Structure 1
Amino acid sequence: MSSINFFDRLGNLWRGFVSLWIADVEKKHPEIAYENAINGLITKYTKLKTATAAIIRRREEIDSRVDAERRALADVNRDLEAALATNQDDLALVLLQKKSAVEAELAGLGTEAEQSKVDADDAKNALLAVKGEIGKLKAERDRMLAKMQSAQARIQIQSQLDGLSVEADVQALDKVRDHIKNTIAEANLGKELRDSDLDVRLNKLRQESGNVTARAQLDELKRQRAAQQAAGKQM
């Protein structure tokens, strides 16, 4: 007994591992999970369809028996009328017994017919419900897998963006910016050094002095010319 329990527990443990493995695979591949679920419903639908066909066949058989018993009752009633009309009492007694048996059979068949109709309707409704579930599950599969693919695409794009060497490119650009700034600073420094050089300052001073002297000479020439023009007018 203990060994049987051990093997039972071992079998349950193994089935548990297999179930976990399948669940893990289905989680990574949801299309497999949907296909398994859809195939399971299709299998159920096929079995239910076979059972429904059997129920409908039974209903049709009962309806056929009901029709046959009704025809038999009609025949018995005609025969009974004829026996009564011809005063054949012994035959009428037999026909009355037959009529009672047919009516009893017909009553039982009526109950069976009603129940078979209910069973057939329930089976057809269940069949339609499973078929509807298959359709809804297929639509859900297409919708959810499309969303999954879209999400995976976004994750892949995000991963690619995260993996791009954006910082390296920015750092390279920063080095170029620094180089440009350093070049400008060197140019400015050269100008500042040149402006602060004594020879340069002296040359600038000489240029400024020359400009001052030239301006004074120009003013003197203008003054002399004005004086000469004034003297000429007095004569």
Structure 2
Amino acid sequence: MANANFFTRLGNLWSGFVSLWIADIEKDHPEIAYENAINGMVTKYTRLKSATAAIIRRRDEIDGRVNVERKALEQVSRELETALATNQDDLALVLLQKKSAIEADLNGLVDEAEQAKTDADDAKNALLAVQGEIGKLKGERDRMLAKMQSAQARIQIQSQLEGLSVEADVQALDRVREHIKTTIAEANLGKELRDTDLDVRLDKLRQQTGTVTARAQLDELKRARAQAAAGKQM
């Protein structure tokens, strides 16, 4: 008994693991879950269809028996009328008993036929309901899988955008900008240092001095020429 309980518990544990494993697979692959549900509904529909066919067949059989009994009742009624018309009382008594038996059977069959008709209608409605559920489930599957694919595509696009590392590219460009500014500053610093260098300033001073001297000589020459020209006129 203890071994039986142990193996039962072990079987339940294994079933639990399998159920969890299947649930994980169905979460990652929802199309499998929908197919399993649809296949389960189709199996139920097939079984219900067979049961409905059997109920309808029983209904038709009872309806056939009702028709047979009605015809038999009509026949025995005619025979009874004939026996009464011909004063055959012995046959009339037999036919009257037969008619009563047929009427009792017919009444029972009519009630059974009504119940069989109700059962058949209920079975057909249940069959149509299951068929409708299968159609709705297929429609839901198509819509939900389309939404799932759209969501997965959006997630993939978002992941790609996040992986573009725009910030790193901008930081690299900022480093280039800083390097350019530093280079320009170094060039300006070199010019400033040259402008403040004593040798450079002396060279500039000599150039300025030479220019001043040349200008003075030029002015002197102009005055001399002007004086000479004035002496000739006198």
- Smaller-chain TM-score range? 0.7 to 0.9
Q: 1:27: how far off?
A: 1.1
Tell whether 2:61 aligns with 1:98. no
Q: Which amino acid aligns with 2:151?
A: A
- What does residue 23 of structure 1 align with? 23
- What does residue 35 of structure 1 align with? 35
Q: Which amino acid aligns with 1:138?
A: K
Deviations 1:19-65 (A, max 9, x none): 11111111111111000000000000000000001001111111111
Q: 1:188: how far off?
A: 4.3
What value does the CA root-mean-square deviation take over the aligned residues? 2.6
- Alpha-carbon distance in 2 for matches of 1:39, 1:103: 49
Could you tell me whether the CA contact under 8 Å between 1:55 and 1:119 is conserved in 2?
Answer: yes
Q: 1:172: how far off?
A: 1.9
- Alpha-carbon distance in 2 for matches of 1:201, 1:19: 97
> What are the within-5 Å matches in structure 2 for residues 19-98 of structure 1?
19-98=19-98
Q: Which amino acid aligns with 1:152?
A: Q
Tell whether 2:135 aligns with 1:135. yes
SS at match of 2:40: helix
- Alpha-carbon distance in 2 for matches of 1:140, 1:52: 27
- What does residue 8 of structure 2 align with? 8
Taking structure 1 as the reference length, what is the TM-score of the superposition?
0.81
- Alpha-carbon distance in 1 for matches of 2:50, 2:11: 33
Q: 1:134: how far off?
A: 0.6
SS at match of 2:172: helix
- Alpha-carbon distance in 2 for matches of 1:36, 1:66: 45
- What does residue 146 of structure 1 align with? 146
Q: Which amino acid aligns with 2:2?
A: S
Identity level (%): 78
Q: 1:193: how far off?
A: 4.7
- Alpha-carbon distance in 2 for matches of 1:179, 1:79: 126
Structure 1: unaligned runs, 5 residues or longer:
218-235
- Alpha-carbon distance in 1 for matches of 2:195, 2:100: 140
Could you tell me whether the CA contact under 8 Å between 1:83 and 1:92 is conserved in 2?
Answer: yes
- Alpha-carbon distance in 2 for matches of 1:63, 1:200: 132
Deviations 1:130-164 (A, max 9, x none): 11111111111111111111111111122222223
SS at match of 2:87: coil
Change (3 A) 1:187 1:113: same
Change (3 A) 1:180 1:73: same
